[in-house]
């Protein structure tokens, strides 16, 4: 059990450290080329009909009216319902949606089990209707999440194998990721159904993890589930599956970025930094070693190429 406990703690530390590292990396990257495609959901009174403040003369001089509720609504539609996949690749949505919904349910299941662990450590018992509702939420999120995750992962794997269009752009790592998730979900489902159908032993183990105490021995299958699940949690933020972090910056810093570039402002400072970068490649119209500012203001090379 000591090995299981150590793996759990290490996985939690790796997950947090990897997510924080990615957030810092994305937050400190040079300014992106903004898409500036409207409608932008945070434009108050305009997004509904596809308008934009860009349609107005000297728009940068006018006060910005932001609709954070509209922005949040758009984000939730993308995160919870995979709106973009539904509109652009509906065949893939029928497997991608249950896959992601299963993940969301399992995140909720883990949070509920952590709450159960805290209640165990504090000697608090949920009784009556509250206790029944809590138990049913644990039961439904656990088995429902595992079932949907298995269905989605299997479907996505088969699509990558048999759909030539997707297979052409699928790297070996993407097959490995889906197989890993599918294997962990199957092991977890079998372990729970056969050794811990009510999730009581797992809640007790998490109570020990939270309380930094030695847990009771777990059945072999349940110990395998814990180790496999911990390894998956540590693995996800180290791979491309960590797009849940990148999406925030993609939407806010690229797709929806419409903050005016004013003199002496934050954006001007970031652009000056980018224009100072030196080119380490060359072409007929670009000399190696020049800065982007020099390239952008020297049109002689471009004119020579045109001739």
Tens of pLDDT, residue by residue over 235-256, are 999 998 888 888 889 888 888 8
Q: Say yes or no: 114 and 151 in one domain.
A: yes
Q: What is the pLDDT of residue 299?
A: 56
Q: Say yes or no: 180 and 293 in one domain.
A: no
Say how many domains are in the chain: 2
Task: Assign residue 31 the CATH number of its domain.
Answer: 1.20.950
Residue 196 has pLDDT above 80, yes or no: yes
Can you give the residue range of the structural domain that contains 54?
A: 2-255
Q: Say yes or no: 224 and 134 in one domain.
A: yes
Could you check whether the bond before residue 39 is cis, i.e. omega within 30 degrees of 0? yes
Q: What is the mean pLDDT of residues 82-100?
A: 94
Packing angle, helices 2-27 and 200-211, rounded to 10: 70
DSSP secondary structure, 163-201, as one string: -HHHHTT--HHHHHHHHHHHHHHHHHHHHHHHH-TTSHH
The answer to whether residue 267 is domain-embedded is no
Residue 306 has pLDDT above 50, yes or no: no
C-alpha–C-alpha distance, residues 251 and 255, integer Å = 5
pTM across the whole model: 0.88
C-alpha–C-alpha distance, residues 60 and 87, integer Å = 33
The answer to whether residue 263 is domain-embedded is no
């Amino acid at each position: 059990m000591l090995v299981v406990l150590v793996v759990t703690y290490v996985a939690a530390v790796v997950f947090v450290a990897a997510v924080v590292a990615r957030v810092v990396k994305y937050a400190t990257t040079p300014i992106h080329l903004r898409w500036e495609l409207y409608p932008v959901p945070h434009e108050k009174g305009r997004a509904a009909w596809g308008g934009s403040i860009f349609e107005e003369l000297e728009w940068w001089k006018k006060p910005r009216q932001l609709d954070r509720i509209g922005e949040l609504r758009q984000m939730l539609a993308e995160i919870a319902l995979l709106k973009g996949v539904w509109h652009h690749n509906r065949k893939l949505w029928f497997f991608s949606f249950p896959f992601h919904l299963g993940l969301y349910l399992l995140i909720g299941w883990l949070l509920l089990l952590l709450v159960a662990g805290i209640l165990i450590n504090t000697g608090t018992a949920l009784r009556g209707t509250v206790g029944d509702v809590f138990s049913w939420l644990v039961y439904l999120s656990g088995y429902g999440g595992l079932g949907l995750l298995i269905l989605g992962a299997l479907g996505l794997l088969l699509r990558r194998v048999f759909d030539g269009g997707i297979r052409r752009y699928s790297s070996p790592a993407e097959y490995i990721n889906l197989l890993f998730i599918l294997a962990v979900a199957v092991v977890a489902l079998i372990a729970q159904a056969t050794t811990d159908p009510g999730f009581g032993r797992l809640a007790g183990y998490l109570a020990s993890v939270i309380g930094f105490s030695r847990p009771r021995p777990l059945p072999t299958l349940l110990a395998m589930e814990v180790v496999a699940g911990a390894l998956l949690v540590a693995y996800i933020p180290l791979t491309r599956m960590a797009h849940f972090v990148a999406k925030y910056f993609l939407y806010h810093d690229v797709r929806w970025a419409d903050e005016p570039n004013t003199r002496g402002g934050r954006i001007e400072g970031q652009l000056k930094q980018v224009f100072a970068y030196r080119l380490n490649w060359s072409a007929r119209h670009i000399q190696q070693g020049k800065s982007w500012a020099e390239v952008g203001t020297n049109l002689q090379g471009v004119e020579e190429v045109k001739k």
